[in-house]
């Protein structure tokens, strides 16, 4: 399997509750279709079969950044995503689902017997934009911090899960990038995004 594209990043696991935009962009039918697509992408890699990469609607053909997070028995099993909109959302879900299943170096590749208990969560990203540290809203914004070729990203729901305040969130993204925790104060680029988050757990 080829390595993830250069814009792909590992992300900390995240609960599948929505955290973000003021209103949902994706309909219930679109959410169901994208979650089913993520599962099909993984299954087709384990049991080789044809999988169409042609988006079924103009909305799903729009280039978007997206992260796919996998869980097994409630535990994180993989998470990889495209930060930047380098492909249609439809294709990006296929690519990130397969990468999360088989290319997240924190875990062994997913095995066929794990499919029955596998849960998927998708985080569809808004475009990135520069943000002043004091404008960051915990629970609304995800962050990408970059300096000297290093970058770290955490999704909006992560600081909520871990009860971090804004400063701790900034510090943790810096550490994830392999930077000093105060790099956000010493020249690092700080960019924010929101994410519409939905997953298998929401369908119960």
Domains, the chain, with CATH or none: 8-18+27-126+196-203 (3.30.700.20), 129-193 (3.30.1490.150)
- Which residue shows structure tokens 């509750």? 17
Q: What is the pLDDT of residue 5?
A: 40
Interval 110-132 mean pLDDT: 96
- Contact assessment for residue 93 and residue 41, using Cβ atoms and an 8 Å cutoff: yes
From CA 44, how far away is CA 198, in angstroms rounded?
22
Task: Quick: pLDDT tens for 164-196.
Answer: 999 999 999 999 999 999 999 999 999 999 999
Enumerate the H helices of the chain as residue ranges: 28-46, 89-102, 157-161, 166-176
Using CA atoms of 7, 98, 101, 70 in order, give the dihedral in degrees to the nearest 10. 80
What are residue 112's phi and psi, to 5 degrees?
Answer: -55, -40
pTM of the model: 0.84
Q: Which residues pair with 53 in a beta bridge?
A: none
Whole-number mean pLDDT of the chain? 90
CA count, 13 A, side-chain hemisphere, 127: 4
Using CA atoms of 40, 46, 49, 50 in order, give the dihedral in degrees to the nearest 10. 50
Task: Quick: pLDDT tens for 56-98.
Answer: 999 999 999 999 999 999 899 999 999 999 999 999 999 999 9
Percentage of the chain lying above the pLDDT 70 cut: 89
């Amino acid at each position: 399997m080829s390595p993830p594209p250069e814009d792909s990043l590992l992300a900390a696991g995240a609960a599948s509750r929505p955290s973000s935009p003021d209103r949902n962009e994706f309909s219930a039918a679109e959410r169901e279709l994208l979650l089913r697509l993520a599962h099909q992408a993984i299954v087709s890699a384990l049991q080789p079969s044809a999988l169409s990469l042609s988006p079924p609607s103009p909305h799903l053909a729009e280039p978007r950044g997206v992260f796919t997070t996998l869980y097994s028995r409630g535990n994180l099993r993989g998470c990889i995503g495209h930060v930047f909109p380098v492909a249609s959302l439809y294709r990006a879900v296929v690519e990130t689902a397969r990468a999360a299943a088989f290319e997240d170096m924190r875990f062994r590749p997913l095995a066929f017997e794990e499919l029955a208990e596998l849960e998927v969560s998708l985080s569809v990203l808004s475009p990135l934009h520069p943000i002043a540290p004091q404008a960051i809203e915990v629970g609304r914004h995800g962050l990408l911090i970059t300096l000297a070729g290093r970058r770290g990203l955490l999704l909006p729901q992560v600081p909520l899960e871990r009860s971090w305040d804004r400063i701790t969130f900034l510090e943790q993204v810096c550490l994830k990038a392999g930077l000093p925790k105060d790099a956000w104060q010493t020249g690092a680029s700080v960019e924010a995004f929101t994410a519409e988050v939905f997953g298998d757990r929401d369908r119960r």
